[in-house]
Every structure is written in structure tokens, then in C-alpha cells.
Chain A
Amino acid sequence: MSTAEMRLACKPGDYKSDVQPVWCPGCGDYHVLMSFTRAFAALGLPPEKIAVISGIGCSSRIPAYTNCYGFHGVHGRSLALAAGLKVTRPDLTVVVASGDGDGYSIGGNHFLHACRRNIDMTYVVMDNRVYGMTKGQPSPTTEPDFDTALSPGGTGVRPFHPLVIALASGANFVARAFSGSPNETADILVEAIRHPGFSFIEILSPCVTFRPDEKEWKSMVRPAPVEATDDAARAARRLMTDDGFNIGVLYRGERRPFQPPFGRADADLTALETEFVL
């Protein structure tokens, strides 16, 4: 079957597993899952050629809900796992799913170095500005005036700006999407997966349980007023006036992806056994 025929034959439902999601009704992550499956179908990729890797958190449940290869790893370490997988299996399409706590706090350092290293994979962070799975603690992207019993008087801490960090650290593709627009998000995912090197997408995905105020996001998001650029300095200047609700691709870089000089051909099981024998 040709790629074009494969694309026509693939349906989003082909990428869904039989596992029923347990996110709260109204959670933005349902839409993100929909965007994943629509993007995979649009790319016409066989499920066994995709690996969805995650850490811990509500968003990190996503590998179980697809029938691609998946790995639900440890907290904050999804990028390390994914990098290891991609360098040894460059034939796989590697998509990494994380949240703002898992990805920017526990896994913050991996984020910097994954951008810097520029391995060919796509990193999706579902940002709801709160630790949802553990009942609503502030995360690195939480606003400083988030005043709750768990953060009395607000955190008073300046939020992390993921796009600024990604750009400054060398990510080769930087975008922001909104979960409530699953087709547009799927389009950005398709582009990110196709783009060589490390692609980063921040998806604003409301947490209706611990941040009901985020239901308003659907009236706050807007298409970015300018086209994507391949000039990192220009992209950085745009971010200086970004209020966090501009949707679209910000930056498409041209850095060559990192791929060490070994791959599947060297992954001989006998050789590996010999190397790791105690």
C-alpha cells in the first residue's frame, strides 16, 4: 500500500486502545488524545511504528489509551527514556507526552537538554498550570496569585515560560496549541512530527476539576497574529509580548538532528548480552 493510500485507509479509531480513559469529564486531555489519533491517521503511520512515551501525571496516562507502542515511565524522566529509544530505534516515530509538573518541574532539566541535544522526536506538554493528579498543588506554570489552601496568598513565584525556555535551549520546532481545537492541534502535531529534530508543543489543556477558571481559555485563545519564523531571534522577540494565549507554530529551525553513529544494525542481542554480563 502506498503512503497516500495508507493515509486514506487510516482512521483515528485505529490508534485507540480498548482502555477507557479515566480523566475527569470535561478534561482537556480527552481532546489531546483525539488530536494524537487524528495526527497519526493523517500521517498514515502504522501503530507499530509509533512509540508514545510518558512520565507521571494525568497527561502521562495517554500511552495506555493508544494502541501504539508505549512506555509509562517514572516521574519527569519521559524525555530520557524517549531519547534512549530514538537513538537505538531511529525508525520509530517517537512522541513524548508530559504535563507541566512532570515536564517542567521534576523533568525540567531533561527538558533543557533534550532541546539542546535535538534528537528527532516530538515533545507534547499538556499544560493545565496545576498538579491535577495529586489534587491541585501549584506547578511551575501556575500564576503567582493562585490563592488556595495549598498555596495561601498565592505562590508569589514567577511562572516558567515553556516556549522561551524551549527556544533558548535549542528546540528545533516550537508551537502552542489549545486542546479545545483538536483538528488544529492535530495539524500542529503532524507538522511537529514531520519536522526534523526536537519539536516542542505546549498544549493548553484545561483542568476542569482543580482549575475551573480554565474553562474560560476557549474564549481567550486566538491564532498567533504572525506567521512562524525560522529566525530564533525574531521568535524570541515575539515571545516578549506573548500573553500565553497565541496559538500556532512560533518557530521552525533548521538545525541538524542529533543521531549517534550507531543504530538498529548494531543492536545485536548477543553483543548486548556480552556487554552487560555481570
Chain B
Amino acid sequence: MTQATPEITSLPDLLAVAWRIEADAVERYQALAAQMETFNNAELAAVFRDLARAEGIHAEEIRRMAGDLDVAARAREIDPWRSGESPESADLAEAHYKMTPWHALQLALAGEQRALAFFDHILKTATDEAVRKMAAEFVEEENEHVDLVRRLLRRHREPSENWSEDPDAPVAQD
């Protein structure tokens, strides 16, 4: 999936877009959790649910920071990703029924890194001082998230190359 960077010119717009990034990530992780539940992979479903919960907390923090601003409505008005996808959203195409928590965390790491790059771009290009200040805060936060996911990844060993091999594969062609 491609990522696009909408132009942010005001603090309310930045807050709305930041909220939308987290909200989209929640929705995507919930979808992945549901897929894993369908495939009876409770361990991985729990990992995705935890990731969704963490993103939900971030979304709520942004909503609080925004005060009276209706971030959801503002985000719909801006419609920031008419092309491309919200940067922190995991790519559904990367899911696999044999994937492991390590793969889930790799998806999360890629999302956090895209979000970091997104806010870093705003920090470097915005002309409004309030936008720059808030973007700097988001950059710091996303850096923390990247570090956190990296720490979580250390708890899981990278799966072998043949991790997707299934001794009872659904494929009827072999």
C-alpha cells in the first residue's frame, strides 16, 4: 500500500489527522485479531487485540488534547488519505494464517516507523509554529513506540524460513 502525506497547516488539523492515524490503526488491528480468531490462532489474536488497545489509548490521549475539537468530524472533513493509506495501519495483505507474534510485531514496527516518518515530515515542512511544536511531540512519542515494539520483538525469536509451511495445507494441488 502506498502512503501519502496530506498538507497540515493548523493545529486542529494536525490533531485530527493524528487521531485518525491511531483510530485507523485500531480498526486494522481489530480486523487482524478477528481474522486470527476465525483461524483459531488465539495467541496471535491476543497480540493484535493488545496492539489495538495500545493504539486506542493513544487515540484517546489525542482526543483529550484536542479539547472541544471533534477530531473525528474534523478528520472526515480533511479526508487526509484520499490516496494511499493511513501510515500506522498494518497492511492486511501481509497477514497469513500461520504467522507468529514475531510477524505481528514486525507489522506493528513497520506501522510505527511510517507514523514516525509522517510526523517527522510535518516537523520539517510545517511553517506554523504551533504545528511544528506539536509535531515534535508526536515525533518523540512515535520514537518511544518504535523502541517499545523493538523491545517486545526481542522477546520473540525470528521464525525459521519455512514458517509458513503447513503439514496439513489447504492446497489440493500437490
Residues in A lying within 8 Å of B, measured CB to CB: 8, 11, 13, 20-22, 24-26, 28, 30-31, 135-136, 148-150, 179-184, 187, 206, 208-210, 215, 218
Contact = CB atoms under 8 A, between A and B. Distances in A.
Q: Main secondary structure on chain A at its contact with chain B?
A: loop
Nearest to B41: A25
25 contacts: A8-B77, A20-B34, A20-B37, A21-B34, A22-B38, A25-B39, A25-B92, A25-B95, A25-B96, A26-B95, A30-B92, A135-B171, A136-B173, A149-B172, A150-B172, A150-B173, A180-B91, A181-B2, A181-B83, A183-B81, A183-B82, A183-B84, A206-B93, A215-B93, A218-B93
Given A8-B76, A180-B93, A25 B171 contact: no
A149 B174 contact: yes
B82 A187 contact: yes
Nearest to B1: A180
A149 B96 contact: no
Given A25-B32, A180-B1, A181-B2, A208 B96 contact: yes
Interface of B: 1-2, 27, 31-32, 34-39, 73, 76-77, 81-85, 91-97, 99, 170-174
A182 B99 CA distance: 23
A175 to B, nearest CB: 16
Nearest to A8: B76
Contacts of B32: 25
Contacts of A8: 73, 76-77
Contacts of B2: 181
Contact of A24 (B1, B34, B37, B97): B97
A149 B82 CA distance: 43
Nearest to A42: B79
Given A25-B39, A183-B84, A208-B96, A149 B173 contact: yes
B99 A25 contact: yes
Contacts of B92: 25-26, 30-31
- Which residue of B31, B73, B93, B170 has the most chain A CB atoms within 10 A of its CB atom? B93
Contacts of B76: 8, 11
Contacts of B91: 180
Contacts of A31: 92-93
A184 B93 contact: no
B69 to A, nearest CB: 16
B172 A136 contact: yes
Contacts of B171: 135-136, 209-210
Contacts of B36: 25
A264 to B, nearest CB: 33
Contacts of B93: 26, 28, 31, 179-180, 206, 208, 215, 218
Contacts of A13: 27
B172 A184 contact: no
Given A8-B73, A8-B76, A180-B91, 11 more contacts: A21-B35, A24-B97, A25-B32, A25-B35, A25-B96, A26-B94, A148-B174, A149-B173, A150-B172, A181-B2, A210-B173
A187 B172 CA distance: 37
A14 to B, nearest CB: 12
